[in-house]
Structure 1
Amino acid sequence: MPQFSKSVRVPYSGEQAFELVSDIRRYPDFIKWITAMRVSDEVRKPDGGFDCVGDAVVGFKGFVERFSTRVEGDPEEGVVTATLIKGPFRKLKAQWRILAADKHGSDISLNIDYDFKNPFIGMLAAANHDLAVSKILSAFMAEAGRRYGSPAS
């Protein structure tokens, strides 16, 4: 069962990073293989946290898959977690952790633990997961630049 994580220091505040990662409705705008996202059952909490269901359509190299996750965000802890409801996985848990490092940046880690039902798709994903995670993080960095501007040097 593949599991991987990657951490990166970003030149954006913890609040900005949390806001970006939490904005799952807009993922199709900047992550090219997420072709559609529907958010339902959304509950906003007084502390700024949230709980919702995200239904995604993902297309990659001729494959199209749909899956649903429960997404929970806790801004005080700096955590956004997505867990599988249904889809092509036996198991899926993705967790972002955002830690404000200083006034000039944050440390972000992405941990994903998954297992596909289809062994062929699982092998394909395992062979490409480092590249996929790098592309995801690059897409988030590019979107952060568009939303928040280039960080001050």
Structure 2
Amino acid sequence: MTHIYHEIMEPYSAQQMFDLVNDINAYPQFVPDCIDTGVLQRDDNLLLAYIEVEKFGFKKRFTTLNRLKEPSKIEITLIDGPFKKLIGAWTFTPISENQSKITFDLTFEFNSKLLDMTFTPIFKDIMKNMVIAFSNRAKQLYDR
């Protein structure tokens, strides 16, 4: 099993960062290697969505159920995809009115050893770049 953990401080509110991460349909516009997304179902505090990523010729699509605890947390649970396990969370902790700490914590394992050995380093890189992309996107949207 592979664990990814990233923590960044942002000069934006927890609500602003929550809204940015929760806007899944916008990911292909600014998240590197993200080629398609879609919201399949949306309820008050639940979101069923898919993300398709591609890097170095490897293309993978997965569907997650996201539990929304606005504005502090988005919990991610695998529904379908090339994983045996994928579970994680985005956490948005207010530091002040206009500053927050963003934490991305993800544990995953692909459903085959070959896929795990081949795609794990690529997937880790995609996830790291996703965190950076959210930081850059926040600057574009909120520094006007």
Once the 2 structures are TM-superposed, how far is the Cα of residue 146 of structure 1 from its aligned partner?
1.4
The one-letter amino acid paired with 2:50 is D
- 1:47 aligned partner: none
- 1:26 aligned partner: 26
Residues 90 and 105 in structure 2, CA contact (< 8 A), matched pair in contact too: yes
Once the two structures are superposed, what CA deviation does each residue of 1:38-64 show, in whole Å capped at 9, x if it has no partner?
1022113xxxxx312112221111011
Superposed counterparts of 1:1-153, under 5 Å: 1-44=1-44, 50-76=45-71, 78-127=72-121, 131-149=125-143
Give structure 2 stretches of 5+ with no counterpart. none
Once the 2 structures are TM-superposed, how far is the Cα of residue 94 of structure 1 from its aligned partner?
2.2
Label 1:89 to 1:21 Cα distance change in 2 as closer, same or farther (>3 A).
same
Give structure 1 stretches of 5+ with no counterpart. 45-49
SS of the residue corresponding to residue 7 of structure 1 reads strand
Distance in 2, matches of 1:111 and 1:120, equals 24
Q: Please, what TM-score do these two structures have when normalized by structure 1?
A: 0.85
> Cα RMSD (Å) of the superposition?
1.8
Once the two structures are superposed, what CA deviation does each residue of 1:88-121 show, in whole Å capped at 9, x if it has no partner?
0000012000000012310111000100013233
Percentage of matched positions with identical amino acids: 26
Label 1:126 to 1:41 Cα distance change in 2 as closer, same or farther (>3 A).
closer
Distance in 2, matches of 1:132 and 1:57, equals 11
Distance in 1, matches of 2:43 and 2:103, equals 25
Label 1:84 to 1:10 Cα distance change in 2 as closer, same or farther (>3 A).
same
Distance in 2, matches of 1:59 and 1:118, equals 18
Label 1:109 to 1:56 Cα distance change in 2 as closer, same or farther (>3 A).
same
Once the 2 structures are TM-superposed, how far is the Cα of residue 127 of structure 1 from its aligned partner?
3.5
SS of the residue corresponding to residue 43 of structure 2 reads strand
Q: Please, what TM-score do these two structures have when normalized by structure 2?
A: 0.90
